[in-house]
Structure 1
Amino acid sequence: MPSIQIKDVPPETHAVLRERAARSRQSLQEYLLAKLIEEASAPTLDEVLDRIDMMSGGSISFVEAVEAVHAGRAGR
């Protein structure tokens, strides 16, 4: 399995993470691994927008659709 090493973690950050791991009754490694898995499991906004942009079927771009919505709201 691949591994990750993070260097130069500020001491305050390390202390907070160790405390959170202890409160969760996990080792620091277990705690951070769970956080990394959680982070990687949800797509970022950019990833979602890229997926939408790749979809076909619409006759206008996403940007044009957003501009049309804003224009419609401004006309209220």
Structure 2
Amino acid sequence: MTITAHTVSFHQCHDEELLSLSEVSEILKTPENTLRRWRQIGRGPRFFKIGRRLVTTVGDVRQFMREQRLAAQPVIPAPRRP
């Protein structure tokens, strides 16, 4: 069963709940075509197919968000200016 962002908050979902491409698009505020492209080039959340449906888990989306947040932080702090 897919929990939509409209019925239950993303933050309240269990990590194993399934999300469709359109639901992930809403959560990440990213066009579906961008998510499809990321999937083709090996970026973005991990998607898989159940039958003909393309899905991912809440946990995979959370992991992707954490990775993006960490990648945006510099590893070595910039030197302070006097």
Q: Normalized per residue, which structure has more strand?
A: 2
Structure number with bigger Rg = 1
Q: Normalized per residue, which structure has more helix?
A: 1
Instruction: Answer 1 or 2: higher relative contact order, Cα 8 Å, separation at least 6.
Output: 2
Question: TM-score, normalization: structure 1?
Answer: 0.33
